């Protein structure tokens, strides 16, 4: 009898527990190593539905052609083992998919690491939460990120859920983030933003001596999703989306300037590409630094080094002693999955290990009867 119970416990221990978006992040999910916040790999069910253009393909060919991150042989094994299913059922590798069918892909998920700064709470009210978002951390689940997000970290470490981000900040941007604590409050904020009643203010560290007089940039922004960057267009208003940003110099040492940025519209990379447009790109923004300014800005001062040493002081709620303690106590081995194409590494394949954070920081949002602020980061105080 005792032997039978032991066998049952062994079988139970071998069972894989699959997670879905309904599984909340927990503090134990994170591993802190070398100044980075990693996520312990976990089993996850990705779900999508067959698009019309996929119909008629075999299940293996569909994955091999549409999801090129893994080799063809992996998808063959995944279908045979049931890690890829159609409408909840195992199918042969020759199965032809049909429109609207549900496809499940059960994977051993590895998330990219982010900088190990904490997400600092600035103000907590019954229906609004404001935090200082550290650079490198996305706001909400997207792409490869699920638990390594502001929303995920706040839920895991502060038991704050549900949260509704009122606006977004690019992953590499730090600063003020407003989150509503219920859907009705989120709708109020969004209505005010859509009505043009909310003013946004950022601070940036740029190349060169910025002009003393206010600079107003009216240049359409054209975003290229394939390249992941924007360009500007002023000669043909039919191209791109209308965009306007006002810039005012705060200080300058002749080499760099600290600039106040007030975007009137909200386009992808608007502030970054508008600063490039007027010849003063963000000093560590390698995506928008032109060839003739890289030498003036760089000389070893990369974005990841800058962020590691001088991000928003409030964002570093994990002080050095606490962080070292986390790193000492978080080096347990994680489960290696024999089918996983990322194991035995902790980080996913394709991650180059050089996280970047921009010298661009959101510090104030103002709306009808309210203002929320976030302190300046260190890099904005030393020029």
Which of the residues are catalytic? 170
Neighbours of 194 (CB within 10 A): 9
Give pLDDT, residue 4. 53
pLDDT tens for each residue of 178-225: 999 999 999 999 999 999 999 999 999 999 999 999 999 998 998 888
Query: 133 pairs with which residues across the strands?
Result: 175
pLDDT tens for each residue of 288-307: 986 544 333 333 333 333 33
- Find out whether 231 and 264 touch, Cβ atoms under 8 Å: no
CATH topology of domain 42-109: 3.10.290
Domain ranges of the chain: 42-109, 118-317+356-380
For domain 118-317+356-380, say whether CATH 3.30.2350.10 is its number. Answer: yes
For residue 236, what pLDDT band results from cuts at 50, 70 and 90? low
The per-residue pLDDT of the chain, averaged, comes to: 84
Six-digit token string for 5: 């119970």
Give pLDDT, residue 89. 96
For residue 331, what pLDDT band results from cuts at 50, 70 and 90? very low
- Report the alpha-carbon distance of residue 383 to residue 377 in Å, rounded: 12
**pLDDT over 60 (residue 244):** yes
**pLDDT over 70 (residue 15):** no
- Report the alpha-carbon distance of residue 107 to residue 63 in Å, rounded: 13
pLDDT tens for each residue of 64-99: 999 988 999 999 999 999 999 999 999 999 999 999
């Amino acid at each position: 009898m005792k032997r039978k119970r032991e066998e049952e416990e062994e079988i139970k221990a071998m069972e894989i527990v699959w997670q879905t978006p309904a599984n909340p992040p927990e503090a134990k999910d994170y591993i802190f190593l070398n100044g980075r916040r990693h996520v312990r790999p976990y089993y996850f069910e990705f779900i999508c539905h067959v698009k019309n253009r996929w119909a008629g393909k075999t299940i293996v060919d569909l994955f091999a052609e549409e999801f090129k991150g893994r080799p063809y042989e992996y998808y063959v094994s995944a279908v045979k083992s049931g890690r890829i299913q159609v409408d909840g059922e195992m199918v042969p590798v020759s199965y032809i998919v049909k429109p609207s069918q549900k496809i499940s892909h059960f994977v051993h998920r590895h998330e990219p690491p982010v900088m190990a700064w904490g997400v600092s709470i600035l103000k907590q009210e019954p229906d609004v939460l404001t935090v200082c978002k550290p650079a490198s951390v996305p706001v909400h689940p997207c792409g490869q990120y699920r638990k390594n997000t502001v929303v995920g970290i706040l839920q895991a470490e502060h038991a704050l859920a549900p949260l509704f981000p009122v606006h977004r900040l690019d992953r590499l941007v730090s600063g003020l983030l407003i989150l509503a604590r219920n859907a009705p409050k989120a709708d109020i904020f969004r209505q005010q933003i859509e009505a043009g009643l909310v003013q946004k203010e950022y601070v940036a560290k740029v190349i060169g001596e910025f002009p003393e007089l206010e600079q107003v940039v009216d240049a359409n922004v054209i975003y290229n999703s394939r390249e992941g960057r924007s360009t500007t267009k002023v000669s043909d208003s039919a191209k791109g989306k209308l965009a306007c940003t006002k810039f005012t110099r705060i200080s300058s040492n002749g080499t760099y300037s600290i600039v106040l940025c007030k975007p009137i519209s909200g386009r992808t990379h608007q502030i970054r590409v508008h600063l490039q447009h007027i010849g003063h790109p963000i000093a560590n923004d390698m995506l928008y630094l032109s060839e003739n300014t890289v030498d003036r800005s760089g000389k070893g001062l990369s974005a990841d080094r800058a962020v590691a040493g001088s991000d928003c002081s409030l964002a570093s709620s994990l002080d050095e002693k606490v962080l070292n303690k986390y790193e000492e106590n978080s080096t347990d081995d994680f489960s290696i999955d024999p089918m996983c194409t990322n194991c035995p590494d902790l980080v996913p394949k394709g991650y180059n290990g050089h996280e970047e954070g921009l010298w661009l920081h959101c510090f104030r949002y103002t709306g009808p009867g309210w203002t929320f602020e976030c302190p300046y980061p260190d890099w904005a105080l030393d020029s």
